[in-house]
């Protein structure tokens, strides 16, 4: 807690004089368009009309999965509009002279038997063949490590120092196994029983205390899990969602996760190989209205007229974009990620690094190593993707900070955060590229289970926001489900 407070305070008062410059740039600009929507700015007048049976807004995993499903069901006449220059949304990736790297989503847990859609896609992509997972994509060892008390330990669960803490860790995992067996928590979450609304009325921290868990190590681990998956502290996350992290993924005896140098950007690439011809990038949808039974979708100089619209952009945009759509009550977690290019490895040499490297008590979530899956014996240079869920301020304050501060400020904050574990990190990093996500993902706060986002006639919501939290499996499921509803309408 103390280091976190210090870093947050230090962040506000960083003095420029003390900064050893590592070139840093922002890799994002899309908030400028988003803010034009918010401010109800004028957009170009449309000059031509195009008719299309199905139109998909947003090319993240949900939108691409809707396209994947439409195509598999024999529909060819659809268009997907994506505002960014590249599709993928939170699963986008980048590449430099050293490696491909993720910008955000970087892994997929090995799907359990009930995650049928994920297994279907992975079979199609050759990741799952003859019941076996391709070893190239299962995360190599060592997978995770934690910097605690001045040294790295294996795994992310802090070694519990006392017998009392060890007993609590054991009891906690036994409770999670019970929850897993109950069928309450499933992925996709809509397929679970979802009867424990009592767990959605208290926070994860409150649940831990109520169950008599006071181990500091256990509280840290639960808090880390909530920051990792939801961009929120355990005290800001509903107990239902906190438990879901541990009890939904059928991981008890499984290996994994599945990962690639560019993270889930690999899946995006493979989906684009299939549906890319339908995707129009750099195309920002700025208004959606009705014309009788059709929908009018305005983007650039084109007015599209569609019989069915699949809205796979973040749900909070619906109130700004769609005529007649009610405001959506979702709290969004702001995030920052950064890709650090390293000309050499600090201290330990490539072999000692895990894929995921986390620093205990840091306000951030550490970094994943993009070259980890490489089979080369010599990897002199590398790229680290650094993750930071900004949850020590209100989301609005964090978004203001993201916009106000320049890239040099954030790069300094990142380097200072890494220094306890890598004292001379500045000597190894040649540049830092930063991505800001003001509304990165829906935060499953208490009460999120009762939230409903209802389709309009002929307009189907598809974003992972519908699940109340954001992971690949939910985005894919929501996209596929929306595609099915659109198909039913057309028929």
Residue 36 or 166: the one with the smaller Cβ distance to ligand FAD is 36
> For residues 300 and 284, is the Cβ–Cβ distance under 8 A?
yes
CB of 331 to ligand FAD, least distance (A): 14
Residue 137 or 213: the one with the smaller Cβ distance to ligand FAD is 137
Q: What order do you get walking across the sheet with 144-148 strand by strand?
A: 24-26, 429-442, 332-342, 382-389, 367-369, 356-359, 144-148, 151-154
CB of 13 to ligand FAD, least distance (A): 26
Residue 108 or 169: the one with the smaller Cβ distance to ligand FAD is 108
The pairing of beta strand 332-342 with beta strand 429-442: antiparallel
Helix pair angle (61-72, 265-275), 10° resolution: 40
Q: Where are the alpha helices (DSSP H) in 211-350?
A: 216-230, 239-247, 265-275, 318-321
Residue 286 or 360: the one with the smaller Cβ distance to ligand FAD is 286
CB of 161 to ligand FAD, least distance (A): 30
CB of 303 to ligand FAD, least distance (A): 14
User: Nearest-CA neighbor of 299 among 53, 45, 113, 28?
Assistant: 45
CB of 166 to ligand FAD, least distance (A): 29
Tell me phi and psi for residue 418, to 5 degrees: -80, -20
Residue 217 or 309: the one with the smaller Cβ distance to ligand FAD is 309
User: Nearest-CA neighbor of 86 among 108, 67, 109, 103?
Assistant: 103
Tell me phi and psi for residue 338, to 5 degrees: -150, 140
**Bridge partners, 306 (sequence order):** 52, 295
SS3 444: coil
Farthest-apart Cα atoms in the chain, separation: 72
**Within its chain, how far is the Cα of 383 from the centroid?**
19
**Bridge partners, 383 (sequence order):** 341
Binding-site ranges for ligand FAD (CB under 6 A): 57-63, 81-84, 89-91, 104-108, 264, 284-285, 312-314, 317, 335, 337, 387, 437, 440-441, 463-464, 470-472, 475
Nearest residue to ligand FAD on Cβ basis: 60
Residue 324 or 380: the one with the smaller Cβ distance to ligand FAD is 324
CB of 426 to ligand FAD, least distance (A): 24
Distance separating alpha carbons of residues 310 and 299, to the nearest angstrom: 15
Residue 408 or 471: the one with the smaller Cβ distance to ligand FAD is 471
Determine what percent of the chain falls in helix, strand and coil, rounding each to the nearest 5: 35, 25, 40
Residue 11 or 104: the one with the smaller Cβ distance to ligand FAD is 104
Distance separating alpha carbons of residues 57 and 151, to the nearest angstrom: 47
CB of 376 to ligand FAD, least distance (A): 24
CB of 377 to ligand FAD, least distance (A): 27
Any idea which residue has 């990093």 for tokens? 429
Q: Where are the alpha helices (DSSP H) in 112-199?
A: 116-124, 163-182
CB of 57 to ligand FAD, least distance (A): 5
CB of 403 to ligand FAD, least distance (A): 17
User: Nearest-CA neighbor of 440 among 131, 174, 231, 182?
Assistant: 231
Residue 101 or 284: the one with the smaller Cβ distance to ligand FAD is 284
User: Nearest-CA neighbor of 42 among 396, 245, 251, 287?
Assistant: 287
Residue 93 or 470: the one with the smaller Cβ distance to ligand FAD is 470
**Within its chain, how far is the Cα of 446 from the centroid?**
20
**Bridge partners, 291 (sequence order):** 294
SS3 261: coil
Which contiguous run of DSSP H or E holds residue 435? strand 429-442
CB of 380 to ligand FAD, least distance (A): 27
Residue 121 or 169: the one with the smaller Cβ distance to ligand FAD is 121
CB of 228 to ligand FAD, least distance (A): 8
Residue 205 or 385: the one with the smaller Cβ distance to ligand FAD is 385
């Amino acid at each position: 807690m103390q280091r976190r407070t210090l870093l947050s305070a230090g962040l506000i008062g960083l003095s420029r004089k003390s900064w050893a410059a590592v070139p840093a740039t922002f890799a994002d600009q899309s908030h400028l368009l988003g803010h034009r929507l918010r401010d109800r700015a004028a957009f170009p007048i449309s000059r031509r009309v195009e008719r299309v049976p199905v139109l998909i807004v947003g090319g993240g995993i949900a939108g691409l999965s809707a396209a994947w499903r439409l195509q598999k069901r024999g529909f060819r006449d659809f268009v997907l509009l994506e505002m960014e220059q590249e599709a993928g949304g939170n699963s986008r990736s980048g590449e430099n002279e050293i490696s491909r790297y993720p910008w955000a989503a970087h892994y997929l847990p090995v799907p359990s038997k009930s995650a049928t859609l994920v297994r279907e896609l992975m079979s199609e992509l050759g990741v799952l063949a003859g019941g076996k997972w391709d070893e190239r994509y299962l995360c190599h060892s060592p997978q995770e490590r934690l910097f605690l008390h001045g040294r790295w330990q294996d795994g992310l669960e802090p070694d519990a120092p006392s017998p009392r803490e060890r007993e609590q860790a054991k009891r906690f995992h036994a409770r999670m196994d019970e929850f897993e067996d109950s069928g309450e928590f499933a992925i996709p979450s809509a397929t679970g029983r979802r009867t424990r609304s009592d767990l959605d009325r208290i926070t994860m921290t409150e649940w831990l205390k109520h169950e008599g868990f006071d181990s500091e190590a256990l509280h840290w681990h639960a808090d880390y899990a909530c920051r990792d998956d939801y961009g929120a502290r355990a005290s800001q996350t509903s107990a239902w969602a906190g438990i879901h992290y541990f009890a939904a993924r059928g991981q008890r005896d499984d290996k994994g996760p599945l990962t690639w140098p560019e993270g889930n950007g690999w899946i995006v690439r493979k989906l684009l190989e299939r549906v890319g011809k339908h995707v129009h990038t750099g195309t920002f949808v700025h208004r959606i209205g009705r014309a009788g039974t059709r929908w009018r979708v305005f983007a650039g100089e084109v007015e599209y007229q569609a019989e069915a619209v699949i809205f796979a952009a973040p749900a909070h945009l619906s109130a700004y974009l769609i005529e007649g759509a009610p405001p959506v009550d979702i709290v969004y977690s702001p995030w920052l990620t950064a890709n650090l290019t390293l000309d050499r490895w600090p201290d330990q040499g490539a072999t000692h690094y895990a894929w995921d490297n986390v620093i205990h008590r840091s306000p951030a979530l550490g970094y994943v190593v993009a070259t980890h899956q490489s089979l080369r014996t010599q990897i002199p240079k590398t790229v680290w993707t650094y993750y930071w869920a900004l949850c020590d301020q209100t989301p609005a304050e964090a978004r203001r900070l993201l916009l106000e501060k320049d890239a040099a400020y954030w790069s300094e904050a990142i380097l200072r955060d890494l220094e306890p574990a890598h004292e001379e990190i500045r000597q190894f990093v040649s540049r830092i590229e930063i991505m800001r996500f003001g509304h990165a993902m829906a935060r499953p706060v208490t009460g999120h289970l009762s939230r409903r986002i209802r389709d309009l006639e002929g307009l189907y919501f598809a974003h992972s926001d519908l699940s109340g939290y954001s992971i690949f499996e939910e985005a894919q499921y929501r996209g596929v489900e929306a595609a099915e509803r659109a198909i039913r309408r057309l028929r």
